[in-house]
């Protein structure tokens, strides 16, 4: 094993972990920087994947750069705060450790003390990786249950909605965007089609939150969203496979929102704004929305 002179620091936190456990990238970095200083190691580079799940290493840009740099002999060790930061998938963890060993790069976990160069050390890593995978599955299920309960209580679970701004987990009406939403429903009630509505908005100079032109799918999503009448739709689609495009439909929860967290819009077109919200089930969706 090469003498350690420089190390790569890898940090990761998923959205679920941020929500339930309060993991912090800055806290991980601070701890690991102090650890390298204690041993006199130079930091070759810091690799950070923020808001990304530990389930799959392929979808992590910083992890892919780390693997590439391992092969370029840029450092003698990879340092993480905890083995679960590397991956919560046992197979991925073992593949990564094999890659490190192939290029004579040591793996160091600040929280767990083991030596991957010995058979016993490798066994300990496998056990820890297995535990991390189990924790990931438990965490995912707990977060899902928690968000479902929040929906049942009429609370907003997050996500960007045109016509609203997200402020401290609350949806607050954005006056300028709300005018556009009202215009969309007005045009729809007048008999305009999705393409005609999108063209009308784009020609008038209106843009989406991302400063893009309105699309047919975008208009359909707005017309199909019950949040504008103060309702929350939850668990519309389960087990979505992006690659295969396979979905398992569930009966969605349609619940009255908590008025402290979700303000319904007043359309002013008729006495029953619900009449203007017509689910466009015939419009195909490229991916599920919650």
- Per the annotation, the verdict on 282 as an active-site residue is no
The total number of residues shown for the chain amounts to: 290
Residue 238 burial (C-beta neighbours within 10 Å; 0-12, 13-18, 19+):
exposed
E strand or H helix at 277: none
Q: Quote the CA–CA distance of 35 and 40 in Å, as a whole number.
A: 9
Q: Which two tokens stand for residue 287?
A: 């991916």
Residue in the block written with tokens 């015939």: 282
Distance from C-alpha of 119 to C-alpha of 142, rounded to nearest angstrom: 35
d(CA 60, CA 52) in angstroms, rounded, equals 7
CB 184 within 8 A of CB 269: no
Which secondary structure element, helix H or strand E, spans residue 171, and what is its range? strand 170-173
Q: Which of 14, 87, 109, 155 is catalytic?
A: 14
- Please state, in angstroms and rounded to a whole number, the distance separating the CA atoms of residues 154 and 112: 41
Q: Beta partners for 80?
A: 10, 109
> C-alpha dihedral over 145, 148, 150, 152, to 10 degrees?
-130
Joined together, the tokens standing for residue 83 give: 């083995």
Catalytic residues: 14
């Amino acid at each position: 094993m090469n003498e350690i002179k420089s190390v790569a620091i890898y940090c990761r936190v998923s959205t679920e972990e941020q929500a339930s456990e309060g993991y912090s990238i800055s806290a991980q970095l601070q701890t690991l920087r102090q650890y390298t200083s204690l041993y006199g190691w130079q930091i070759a580079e810091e690799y950070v994947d923020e808001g990304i799940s530990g389930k799959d290493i392929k979808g992590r840009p910083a992890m892919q750069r780390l693997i590439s740099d391992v092969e370029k002999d840029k450092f003698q060790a990879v340092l993480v705060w905890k083995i679960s930061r590397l991956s919560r998938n046992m197979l991925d963890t073992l593949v990564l450790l094999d890659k490190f060993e192939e290029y004579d790069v040591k793996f160091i976990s600040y929280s767990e003390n083991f030596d991957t160069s010995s058979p016993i050390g490798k066994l300990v890593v496998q056990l820890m990786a297995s535990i991390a995978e189990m924790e990931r599955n438990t965490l995912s299920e707990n977060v899902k249950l928690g968000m479902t309960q929040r929906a049942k209580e009429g609370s907003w679970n997050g996500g960007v909605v045109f016509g609203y701004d997200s402020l401290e987990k609350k949806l607050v009406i954005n006056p300028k965007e709300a005018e556009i939403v009202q215009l969309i429903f007005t045009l729809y009630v007048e008999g305009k089609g999705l393409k005609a509505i999108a063209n009308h908005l784009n020609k008038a100079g209106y843009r989406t939150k991302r400063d893009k032109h309105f699309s047919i799918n975008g208009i359909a999503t707005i017309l199909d969203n019950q949040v504008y009448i103060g309702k929350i739709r939850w668990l519309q689609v389960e087990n979505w496979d992006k690659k295969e495009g396979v979905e398992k439909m569930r009966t969605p929860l349609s619940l009255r929102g908590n008025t402290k967290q979700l303000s319904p819009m007043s359309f002013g077109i008729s006495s029953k704004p619900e009449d203007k919200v017509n689910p466009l089930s015939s419009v195909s969706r490229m991916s599920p929305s919650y």
